[in-house]
Structure 1
Amino acid sequence: MESLQIIQHNILYSCSYQKEQSSEQFLPEHSLGITLSGEAEYFTNEGSYLVKPGTIGLMRRNQLVKKYKKPSITGEPFKMIGVFLDQKTLRQYAAENAIGEQQPYQGNSVIQLTGNPVIKGFFDSLIPYECHPEKLSDKLCKLKTWEAIELLLQIDPSFKNFLFDFKEPHKIDLENFMNLNYLYNVPIGTFAKLTGRSLSTFKRDFFKIFEATPEKWVQRKRLQMAHYLITQKKKRPTDVYLEVGFENLSHFSFAFKKYYGFAPSEAGN
């Protein structure tokens, strides 16, 4: 068995037996999670975060995240439980609890809650459902999500601004954003959303700045970074292709050879 994911409404149980696994994703909703076993390193624009068994974290929506998962040295798989605090549920909670419009959130996008006994107890209550996910009805998932919201607000009232800022990303500096985020392997539409633009406006603004389509520019930047990592940092192509945003080694090798005229395996010689 390599990996198993169970998603019941907005509650996720994830288990990976692979020796190493990397992935990257766009988080459209806030996520509260705990690591049960194994280790992983998360990378965001704010820095990197090493998670071990017992690590609890709250991650803000609308951000890009890279994850490198590893099993423990004792052979245990990487296991975690996550609860997505979706916008619909948060809006319902805000309405029923008279929580007004919040100012744009300006704090950290990743908040550590490791060691908090209340949140740990909350996740302990979810562990039995891993083997019986069918027991997590829609009504029960809603109750558990509301419980998580209530506990976070009790821990720190300032979480109100984190959770209930419903504003979407505003139009930001596209050039600076792309130079910081081109290594994330996500759809162009996600880049558009995070810069506060429709897809058509994003493509139009992008061409004005870079004089290239987003697809061509992103691939060129990734290949240039790969070339640097192989020739200057002496990394192997097998260690580089995921790091620079390619999904598989064969596609990376083909694109690299087409752009540079030689295979990535020859670049470090």
Structure 2
Amino acid sequence: MPIENIPEIYIKDKTASPDLFVYDFKMTSDVVKSKVNLGMNMFSFLQVGKKQVHFAGTSVAVNKDQSLLLKKGNWLWTELLDVDTSYYCKLFFFSEKILKEFLEKHGLNNEVVKDGTPYFIIKNDAYINSYLNSLSTISNAPAIFMETLLSVKFEELMLYFLQKYGRKFELYLHSLIVIENSSFKKIVESKIHSNLKLEEIAFLCNMSLSTFKRQFIKEYRESPGKWLQNKRLQNAKKTLEQGICKPSEIYLEYGYNNLSNFSIAFKNKFGISPKEA
């Protein structure tokens, strides 16, 4: 099952990294258990159809009477049609940066919530229907104004939900703030002895490949491909020096698809062939 990096796949300008982004998602056939890497927190305003999302330890299902606020991460979700109709939801993505700015502006930035439910259920009402219409209206605005307009609409929406759901929604917003810790390095360094591809390690870190590469360079001051290759070759050399295994027995577990590529990389790194180690 391929991994869908959302919202990246919806953004036409692949060099852009917007803090706010709206996308109209429509389909005419059921999509069962998509494997999704959600790179930004997201409001999913379901208007026609049904949606189910599977998380690590729980799941949630909503219909057109409800919408969801989803925490960024790796999720499986299913989108189902109503009878004889199409599926439609409006997606509103927002970055952690924009959330922090909102919390700070309204004096709500003094709390730390380490863990929380990865979703918040929103009951659709007349305000939301009106709000979604207004989002559709501004979608025709010139691009130069769009960033400012979306910023205003985001603040309006958040203030409404704070008024409607109170402390429960406020605590949920704080749970969306990722607390930086050593988990990124732990995951990366635990995969040195694996043959996982960068895309797969990125998925385990709950990141798109582009985000993973940026974070990796920030942490290690080196590209992930070069760093992993060096670490894996050093470990392969140590293994071979023990005289227990042959090169043909270990190349796969150190990330190489064939013995020839492993031998070339090994000789380029150490000046000797794996057999001579």
Q: Same fold (TM over 0.5)?
A: yes
Deviation of the 1:102 alpha carbon: 2.1
Q: CA deviation at 1:127?
A: 4.1
Secondary structure class of the residue paired with 1:104? coil
Paired residues of 1:34 and 1:54 also in contact (CA < 8 A):
no
Tell me what 2:169 maps to. 159
Query: What's 2:107 paired with?
Result: 98
Identical positions, percent: 12
Q: Per-residue deviation at 1:143?
A: 0.7
Give SS of 2:34's match: strand
Conserved 8 A contact 2:32-2:80: yes
- TM alignment of 1:239-258, pairs within 5 A: none
2 CA distance for matches of 1:113 and 1:24? 23
Q: Which residue of 1 aligns with 2:92?
A: 83
Contact 1:42 1:49 in 2 (8 A): yes
Residues 127 and 22 of structure 1: CA distance in aligned 2, closer, same or farther (over 3 Å)? farther
Unaligned 5+ segments in structure 2 are 1-8, 13-17, 192-198, 208-214, 236-252, 258-277
Q: 2:131 aligned with 1:122, yes or no? A: yes
Q: TM-score, normalised by structure 2?
A: 0.56
Aligned to 1:187: 200
1:36 aligns with 2:47: yes
Q: Which residue identity does 2:171 align to in structure 1?
A: N
Counterparts of 2:39 and 2:178 in 1: how far apart (Å)?
13
Is contact 1:41–1:49 with CA below 8 Å preserved after alignment? yes
Unmatched segments (≥5 aa) in structure 1:
179-185, 217-269
Partner AA of 2:131 in structure 1: F
Q: Match of 2:243? A: none
Mapped to 2, the partners of 1:214 and 1:22 lie a distance apart of 29
Residues 117/157 of structure 1: CA separation in 2 closer, same or farther (3 Å cut):
farther
Tell me, yes or no, if the aligned pair for 2:50 and 2:80 is still in contact at 8 Å.
yes
Give me the whole-angstrom Cα distance separating, in 2, the residues matched to 1:80 and 1:215. 43
- Of 146, 150, 157 in structure 2, the residue corresponding to residue 141 of structure 1 is 150
Q: Tell me the matched-pair count.
A: 199
The verdict on how the C-alpha distance between 1:19 and 1:60 changes in structure 2, with shifts beyond 3 A counting, is closer
Change in Cα spacing, 1:73 to 1:214, as seen in structure 2 (3 Å) is: farther
2:80 aligned to which of 70, 75, 80: 70
Assess if the C-alpha contact under 8 Å between 2:74 and 2:203 holds in 1: no
Deviation string 1:97-153 (CA, Å, 9 cap, x unpaired) is: 2333321342211111124554444334324456x4758711111111111221222
Counterparts of 1:215 and 1:187 in 2: how far apart (Å)?
Answer: 15
After TM superposition, the structure 1 = structure 2 runs for residues 39-50 of structure 1, keeping only pairs within 5 Å, are 39-50=50-61
2:25 corresponds in structure 1 to: 14
Please give the residue correspondences for 1:201-212 in structure 2 after superposition, counting only pairs within 5 Å. none
CA distance in 2, matches of 1:128, 1:167: 33
Pairwise CA distance, 1:79? 0.7
| TM-score, normalised via structure 1 length | 0.57
